[in-house]
Each structure stands twice: as C-alpha cells, then as structure tokens.
Amino acid sequence: MKFLDQAKIYVKSGDGGDGVTAFRREKYIEFGGPDGGNGGRGGDVWFEAVANLNTLIDFRYTQHFRARKGGNGAGSDRTGAAAPPVVIKVPVGTQIFDDDRETLLADLDTPGKKILLCRGGDGGFGNANYKSSTNRAPRRADPGWPGEERWVWLRLKLIADAGLVGLPNAGKSTFLAAASAARPKIADYPFTTLHPQLGVVRLSAAEEFVIADIPGLIEGAHEGAGLGDRFLGHVERCAVLLHLIDGAAGDVVAAWRTIRHELESYDGGLAAKPEIIGLNKCDAMTPQQISARRRALEKASGAEVLVLSGVSGKGVPEVLRRLQNVVTETRAAETERA
C-alpha cells in the first residue's frame, strides 16, 4: 500500500428537506385544516479515527464526500425522513485543517475519536406549523436549510513513542530492522527511505513502544532541500528522539550540528524533546576512532553518547532500554496530568 500523509478533500452535509403545503381532505369532515409536514434533516459529515489505517491513500482517488438531502414533508402531518450521516474514517493521528492549511479544525489522535465537521441542514416547516386562530388556512411552506460545505486538508502524523532522525545513510533503517519486526528498505545510497516506517519494539511482555523512522534530513531541509522537512511532522508526537550519527563518515560533530539546526528551524517543538545520541556503525571504526569521535560528540552536545551498530547488534539493547525508560516516564507524567 502506498503511503500518503496529506490530502485535500471536499465535504458537504445534506440540505434539509422541504416543508409542504397540504390540507386535510376526508369524507364527512367539512373543514379540513392544514396538515403539511416538515422536511427531514440533512445528513451530517463526521470524521472518525480508526486503528486499522495508516495512510491517506484512499483520499487520492475519492476526494468528494456529500451527505444526502433530508426527505420532504408530506400531508397528514408526516415529517420527511432524516438523511443518514456520512462517516469518513481516517487513520489515528490525522489532523484536519481548513483550506488555508493553517487553521486546525480537529486532531483525531486517539482510536474511536469522532468529530462533527459539517452539520446537516434543518428541514423546512410545512404549512401546519403556521396555523393559528387568526390564520386557519396558511399556504406558507419553507424550503429546507442548506447544508455546510468546505474544502479541508488532511494531514497524518503517525503515532509513535520514539523517532529516528539523522542524515541519509546514518543507519536508521538498519537500526529499525534490528530493533523490531519491521522490514524497511536498506541500501548503500542516500534517501533509501522515501516515506516513514513504523516498528514495534518489545523488550518484555509488559514493555513495548512504537518507533518511527523518517527519511533522512540534509542541510537546508527546512527550505526544501532533499526531501525537505515535511516528514518531521511524524515525530512531533514522539516522547524521545534517537539521533543516529554515522561514525564511519568522519566529521560526526558537523553531522550532529546539521540535524540540530534543522530541528530548531522546524516549528514543532522538536528541538526541545529529549534526545538520545547514538554513534552508529561502530563495527566500521577502530577503537581509537570510536573513543575520539565519542569524546568530540559529548563535548559538542553536552550529553552522553551511546555507541552501537545496527548491523552487528552491538549496543542496540542498551539504546532500546534507554528509549523505553524515557517513554515510560513520559507516559507516567501524561497520566498524572490527565
């Protein structure tokens, strides 16, 4: 299934049914009064987050959603039938923006969460609604109220506990494959990963978390260089970032600073998230190189640097344990605030 994380769609709720003008016609009843019924309500448009979807690809082919009009009223004071609602199912983590792509209308971040986006129009009144002691034969009947319509943007932000960031070929996909059952594409050229990948890490029966691998960033990504920074939205909800650095590439400090600059330039609070720095590909370095580059990174970042290799698995359990601890602490803090 192709991954798609943005889509523009048109939604319209149903118009209300029309009221009618009718009079009672029955044998032996000399003066039959007005008995025109009201129109039924138009269908609403709802959005619902469901757990078994992880892409917006369906909206590439179906972009217009319209609810039905309510039924018209009828004689004998019969009200028109209300139209059924249209429920649009989207992946968990979908945000709904107005046509300006800036105004957030809804954030469906939990399974089963629903939002009423367009309310169906009310039905019009029939002439029975206007009868009175001074107006015994009204011939007024109203049309139904129109429904609401709008263009909206859907943006998917994957729900993950930990996010992988780094330059292209930093070994993020290899780490994801070593840490989980995910099988991302792995190759020795830049931008192997073209769309985000998710993997579930299970350390024990009671400990597990979801990790997201996004396409690699390069200098100027926030200005559109490379694949740009559009995929950084998928790690906005993460509790912790794992910053992988290719230790065999040479200048590890410059690599770290490049990604940090892109995170700070992206407006999403990513620079303030807890960061675990991993010096990857230790199996391709000598012990002297590992020691020197680790010290340089720790001096530049002011944080501890973990050494690992996604290929051999060395250091991977320690990194996963550190990620799990941060995720557990964040979940506990969120539970207390709730």
Residue 186 annotated as lining a ligand binding site:
no
Residue 204 annotated as lining a ligand binding site:
no
Q: Where are the alpha helices (DSSP H) in the chain?
A: 58-61, 172-179, 252-265, 287-301, 316-337
- Residue 232, sorted as left (phi over 0), alpha (psi -120 to 50) or beta, turns out to be alpha
Block residue for tokens 């989980």? 180
Residue 311 annotated as lining a ligand binding site:
yes
81 DSSP 8-state letter: P
Residue 21 annotated as lining a ligand binding site:
no
Residue 280 annotated as lining a ligand binding site:
yes
Give bridge partners of residue 303 from the DSSP assignment.
none
Structural contact between residues 33 and 132, judged by C-beta atoms closer than 8 angstroms: no
Residue 118 annotated as lining a ligand binding site:
no
- Report the sign of the C-alpha dihedral through residues 115, 121, 125, 126, in that order: negative
Residue 95, SS3? strand
Residue 166 annotated as lining a ligand binding site:
yes
Residue 215 annotated as lining a ligand binding site:
yes
Beta-sheet pairing, 94-97 with 104-108: antiparallel
Give residue 74's identity as a one-letter amino acid code.
A
Residue 191 annotated as lining a ligand binding site:
yes
Residue 193 annotated as lining a ligand binding site:
yes
Residue 108 annotated as lining a ligand binding site:
no
Residue 287 annotated as lining a ligand binding site:
no
Q: Residue 99, Cβ neighbours under 10 Å: how many? A: 12
Residue 195 annotated as lining a ligand binding site:
yes
Residue 173 annotated as lining a ligand binding site:
yes
Residue 129, SS3? helix
Six-digit token string for 197? 């990948």
Residues present in the chain in total: 338
Binding-site residues for Mg(2+), please? 173, 193
Binding-site residues, please? 166-173, 191-195, 213-216, 280-283, 309-311
Binding-site residues for GTP, please? 166-173, 191-195, 213-216, 280-283, 309-311
